[in-house]
Amino acid sequence: MNSLKRRSLLGGTGAVALVGLALPAFAQKSVQPAPVVRSKSIFLARKLRIVIPANAGGGWDQTGRALGAALVGAGAAEEIEYENKGGKGGTIGLVHYAEKYSNDPNVLLIGGTVMVGAVALHKPAVDMTAIRPVARLTSDYLVVVVAANSPIRNINDLAERIRSNQKEAQIAGGSAGGVDHVFSGMITRGARSKPEELVYVPFAGGAEVVQAVLAEKVVAGVSGYSEFSEHLATGKLRAIGVSSKRSIFGIPSIREQGMDVDIANWRGVFSGQGVSNARLATMVDAVKAATGHESWQKTLKDNRWEASWLSGPSLSNFIDFDLTTSRLMVHLLKFKA
């Protein structure tokens, strides 16, 4: 478990289009130059805990730690403790949070698209009804990468590889049922192959996806740009497509390469069902203030995340529809837990 104190800082709604079917998609330290003036309206507690339902180093971990730093910077807390509990697309962490912290007003949970997809796939006894959404924070696009020495140069090369020998065209990404898995299935379908025969290799963290690609245990990897950026910069990995509608990060979009698919990955923060409405409202105000803090803005820029703020009834409705969409995608792509 790690702790972040006040002096330490870490410094759109997605859409899915599946071959004609358009659906809404489902610590580093730096010294703070001056003390923060505490705002009574957003102050939550001296010490907060953030449960991150994933291993260290991935997108949820980056989001949780960046949010913790920004909450401290904005004056909502003096210290943050982080608890990583990865596995099964966040559903293990979800169960852990619901059972241990549901009534605790000082513990937050990170979640998002991956968790929604994993709930749709695994159908756990504890699902999204066990938590209360505080805010959607970011949207991120997925990047498809190959090893630098791979003969695959673009998404059409990957599609041809999948068609010619699907069993050998293994793709690595995050947890089964998550957004990486769904997107890999969409690519497989877009390649005019069978999604139910996709050989998908799930990992709990982005670092493991990178290693699988570099070791050539898989032909390609799928994850957020931030998890590949270092190895793209050093030339160890090559990006062959991004899941946005148009090219970004200097990477051609998969849609622009002729495959009719795109998807976005959202991340947000949640509270327990036992937390009062008044406390939830204060949490929303605190998180909103944190997203305006300079450390959070720097994180958005460094990781190339898009700000995607949503809260209140609109967020609850968004998540409900996202879950319905995810269940449909699991059915269409013939995924099995």
Site of tokens 């009804």: 129
- List pLDDT tens digits, range 126-137: 999 999 999 999
Q: What is the mean pLDDT of the chain?
A: 87
Q: Residue 29's pLDDT band (boundaries 50, 70, 90)?
A: very low
Low-confidence winner among 37-41, 165-169, 218-222 (lowest mean pLDDT): 37-41
- List pLDDT tens digits, range 61-96: 999 999 999 999 999 999 999 999 998 889 999 999
pTM higher than 0.85: no
- List pLDDT tens digits, range 230-289: 999 999 999 999 999 999 989 999 999 999 988 889 999 999 999 999 999 999 999 999
Give the C-alpha separation, 261 to 259, whole Å: 6
* CA distances in angstroms from 169 to 89, 184, 205, 218, 258, listed in the order given: 23, 11, 21, 7, 20
SS3 of 255-281: the string is CCCCCCEECEEEEEEEEECCCCHHHHH
- To the nearest whole percent, how much of the chain has pLDDT over 90? 69
* CB-CB neighbours of 313 under 10 Å: 8
Mean pLDDT (whole number) for 183-192? 94
* CA distances in angstroms from 210 to 152, 238, 301, listed in the order given: 16, 11, 22
What are the extents of the domains in the chain?
2-139+266-332, 141-262
Q: What's domain 141-262's architecture?
A: 3-Layer(aba) Sandwich (3.40)
Residue 40 pLDDT: 55
**More confident of the two residues 306 and 108:** 108
Q: Are strands 107-112 and 45-52 parallel, antiparallel or unpaired?
A: parallel
Residue 34 pLDDT: 41
Q: Concatenate the DSSP letters of all residues of 77-143 into one string.
A: EEEEEEEE---GGGHHHHHHHHHHHTT-TTEEEEEEHHHHHHHHHH--SS-GGGEEEEEEEEEEEEE
Q: Residue 37's pLDDT band (boundaries 50, 70, 90)?
A: very low
Q: In terms of Cα–Cα distance, which of 214, 206, 148, 152 is closest to 179?
A: 206
Asked if 64 contacts 268 with a C-beta cutoff of 8 angstroms, the reply is no
Domains 2-139+266-332 and 141-262 share a fold: yes
Its CATH class, for the domain covering 2-139+266-332, is alpha beta
Asked if 212 contacts 218 with a C-beta cutoff of 8 angstroms, the reply is yes
- List pLDDT tens digits, range 188-228: 999 999 988 999 999 877 889 999 999 999 999 999 898 89
Mean pLDDT (whole number) for 158-176? 93
Q: Are strands 264-272 and 107-112 parallel, antiparallel or unpaired?
A: antiparallel
